[in-house]
Chains A and B, each alone.
Chain A
Amino acid sequence: MTDLLDPTGEREPGQRPRAARPASLDGLTIGLLDIAKARGDVFLDRVDEVLRERGLKVARFRKSTYTKPAPADLRGEIRTRCHAVIEALAD
Chain B
Amino acid sequence: MALPDGLVCFVKADCPTCQMVQPVLRQLRAAVPFTVLTQDDLSFPAGVEPVDDTSLELSYRHQIEIVPTLMKVEGGKPVERLEGWDRGAWERLTGLNDLGDGLPGFRPGCGSRTLDPGMPETLALRYDGSQMRSRRISLGSMEDEIEATFVRGWSDGLPVVPPTPERVLRMLSGTTRDPQEVVAVVPPDLVDCTVEKVAVNAVMAGCRPEYLPVVLAAVEAACTEAFNIHGVLATTYFVGPVVIVNGPIAREIGMNSGVNALGQGNRANATIGRALQLIIRNVGGGRPGEIDRATLGNPGKYTFCFAEAEDTSPWQPLSVERGLSPGTSAVTLFAGSGVQPFFDQLARTPETLARSLASCLRVVGHPKWGLAWDALCVISPEHARVFRQGGWSKQRLHNELDAILTFDGDEMVKGADGIAEGMPESAARGKIAKFRPSGLLFVHAGGTAGLFSAIIGGWVSGPAGTEPVTREVRP
Verify B283–A9 contact, CB threshold 8 A.
yes
Residues in A whose Cβ lies below 8 Å from that of B463: 65
Contact status of A9 and B460, CB under 8 A, knowing A2-B145, A67-B466, A68-B231 = no
CA distance A67 to B229 in the complex (A): 10
Verify B134–A9 contact, CB threshold 8 A.
no
Verify B165–A3 contact, CB threshold 8 A.
yes
Best-surrounded residue of A2, A64, A69 (most CB of chain B within 10 A): A2
Q: Is B363's CB within 8 Å of the partner chain A?
A: no
- Interface of chain B residues 253 through 304 with chain A (CB within 8 A): 278, 282-285
Contact status of A4 and B162, CB under 8 A, knowing A67-B464, A69-B230 = yes
Verify B163–A7 contact, CB threshold 8 A.
yes
Verify B154–A7 contact, CB threshold 8 A.
yes
Q: Is A73's CB within 8 Å of the partner chain B?
A: no
Q: Is A26's CB within 8 Å of the partner chain B?
A: no
Verify B231–A5 contact, CB threshold 8 A.
no
CA distance A4 to B231 in the complex (A): 31
How many residues of chain A have a CB within 8 Å of chain B?
Answer: 16
Q: Is B200's CB within 8 Å of the partner chain A?
A: yes
Partner of A67, one of B134, B162, B460: B460
Verify B168–A5 contact, CB threshold 8 A.
yes
Verify A8–B186 contact, CB threshold 8 A.
no
How many residues of chain B have a CB within 8 Å of chain A?
Answer: 43
CA distance A10 to B137 in the complex (A): 12
Residues in A whose Cβ lies below 8 Å from that of B191: 9, 11
Residues in A whose Cβ lies below 8 Å from that of B148: 4
Q: Is A19's CB within 8 Å of the partner chain B?
A: no
Partner of B164, one of A4, A8, A65: A4
Residues in A whose Cβ lies below 8 Å from that of B201: 7
Verify A67–B193 contact, CB threshold 8 A.
no
Contact status of A4 and B139, CB under 8 A, knowing A67-B235, A68-B228, A68-B230 = yes
CA distance A9 to B135 in the complex (A): 10
Distance in Å: Cβ of A11 to nearest Cβ of chain B = 6
Contact status of A4 and B230, CB under 8 A, knowing A65-B464, A65-B465, A67-B465 = no
Q: Is A6's CB within 8 Å of the partner chain B?
A: yes
Q: Is A1's CB within 8 Å of the partner chain B?
A: yes
- Interface of chain B residues 112 through 144 with chain A (CB within 8 A): 132, 134-141, 143
Partner of A3, one of B138, B228, B465, B466: B138
Contact flags (1/0) for A61-79 with B, using CB distance below 8 Å? 0001101110000000000
Contact status of A5 and B464, CB under 8 A, knowing A67-B228, A67-B231 = no
Q: Is B318's CB within 8 Å of the partner chain A?
A: no
Q: Is B224's CB within 8 Å of the partner chain A?
A: no
Verify A5–B465 contact, CB threshold 8 A.
no
Q: Is B189's CB within 8 Å of the partner chain A?
A: yes
Verify B282–A8 contact, CB threshold 8 A.
yes
Verify B283–A1 contact, CB threshold 8 A.
no
Verify B278–A7 contact, CB threshold 8 A.
yes
Verify A9–B165 contact, CB threshold 8 A.
no
CA distance A85 to B171 in the complex (A): 48
Contact status of A9 and B466, CB under 8 A, knowing A1-B141, A2-B145 = no
Q: Is B444's CB within 8 Å of the partner chain A?
A: no
Residues in B whose Cβ lies below 8 Å from that of A4: 136-137, 139, 145, 148-149, 162-164
- Interface of chain B residues 139 through 184 with chain A (CB within 8 A): 139-141, 143, 145, 148-149, 154, 162-165, 168
Distance in Å: Cβ of B114 to nearest Cβ of chain A = 22
Best-surrounded residue of A2, A4, A9 (most CB of chain B within 10 A): A4
Q: Is B197's CB within 8 Å of the partner chain A?
A: yes
Verify B162–A2 contact, CB threshold 8 A.
yes
CA distance A38 to B163 in the complex (A): 44
Verify B138–A1 contact, CB threshold 8 A.
yes
Q: List 16 A-B contacts (CB under 8 A).
A: A3-B165, A4-B162, A4-B164, A5-B132, A5-B134, A5-B164, A6-B134, A8-B154, A8-B285, A9-B189, A9-B193, A11-B191, A64-B464, A65-B460, A65-B465, A67-B464
A residues within 8 Å of B by Cβ? 1-11, 64-65, 67-69
Given contacts A2-B145, A7-B278, A8-B154, 12 further A-B contacts (CB under 8 A): A4-B137, A4-B148, A5-B164, A5-B168, A6-B134, A6-B135, A7-B154, A7-B201, A9-B186, A9-B283, A9-B285, A65-B463
In the A-B complex, the 4 residue pairs with the smallest Cβ-Cβ separation, listed nearest first, are: A67-B231, A9-B191, A65-B464, A5-B134
